[in-house]
Chain A
Amino acid sequence: DGGITQSPKYLFRKEGQNVTLSCEQNLNHDAMYWYRQDPGQGLRLIYYSQIVNDFQKGDIAEGYSVSREKKESFPLTVTSAQKNPTAFYLCASSIGLVVFGELFFGEGSRLTVL
């Protein structure tokens, strides 16, 4: 069954702790993305990667870090430097960073900072 798998679905974290969200895809897509979704603010781009071992900052990268060591995997670390980390995080992929490419999304991870 092809698709994108995010884990965990729900995560609770204490202030000052780093947390890593997992994103795996078996669609053989080159490009992968992380978006943050907050009520009334749409989807905002955190980081994206066009190819293995390469990634670029999106519009709200501060307090986040990523890696792309394998084509299938694009984990996101929410660091303690992120001022307001409680949010719904969506991972996505596309065939490439092409103009008319459809994004395929995972089911999301909801992070709550206590």
Chain B
Amino acid sequence: GENVEQHPSTLSVQEGDSAVIKCTYSDSASNYFPWYKQELGKRPQLIIDIRSNVGEKKDQRIAVTLNKTAKHFSLHITETQPEDSAVYFCALRGGFQKLVFGTGTRLLVSP
């Protein structure tokens, strides 16, 4: 089945720095790439998504880029704040329209 690799597994940054999380995939038929954020003890929530016909999408301090040729997509968080600390999951919609998740990145933003 479809597989998605996510890196890094943990990421520590200072407040105000940028953070980048990258996911790679193999199925060229994938056409929807969402990102979910899970704060400690809470449910995952969608924070941004991108469709295959778009190369980049921004929403305030977060952005997602997609490179369909190289089969990778990335989450970019600028001017990080302590409340950005969470586990971030990339995902993609592959065959049979099931959502497949990456293994998660634990982001820690230190004040």
A interface residues (Cβ-Cβ under 8 A, vs B): 35, 40-45, 48, 58-59, 90, 97-100, 102-103, 105-108
Contact = CB atoms under 8 A, between A and B. Distances in A.
Contact of A59 (B1, B32, B43, B104): B1
Contacts of A97: 97
A42 B98 contact: no
Given A99-B31, A103-B46, A103-B99, A43 B89 contact: yes
User: Would you list the 6 A-B pairs with minimal beta carbon distance, nearest first?
Assistant: A105-B43, A43-B101, A42-B103, A42-B101, A102-B46, A105-B44
B99 A42 contact: no
Contacts, number: 47
A83 B6 CA distance: 27
B97 A98 contact: yes
B93 A99 contact: yes
Nearest to B45: A105
Nearest to A4: B43
Main secondary structure of the interface of B (DSSP, over half): strand
A32 to B, nearest CB: 13
A108 B39 CA distance: 13
A40 B9 contact: yes
A42 B97 contact: no
Q: How large is the interface on B (under 10, 10 to 19, 20 to 34, 35 or more residues)?
A: 20 to 34
B111 to A, nearest CB: 26
A90 to B, nearest CB: 7
B61 interface: no
Contacts of A40: 9, 103-104
B44 A90 contact: yes
Nearest to A39: B104
Nearest to A58: B98
A105 B93 CA distance: 17
Given A40-B9, A59-B1, A107-B42, A45 B98 contact: yes
A67 B100 CA distance: 22
B98 A48 contact: yes
Contacts of A98: 97
Nearest to B97: A97
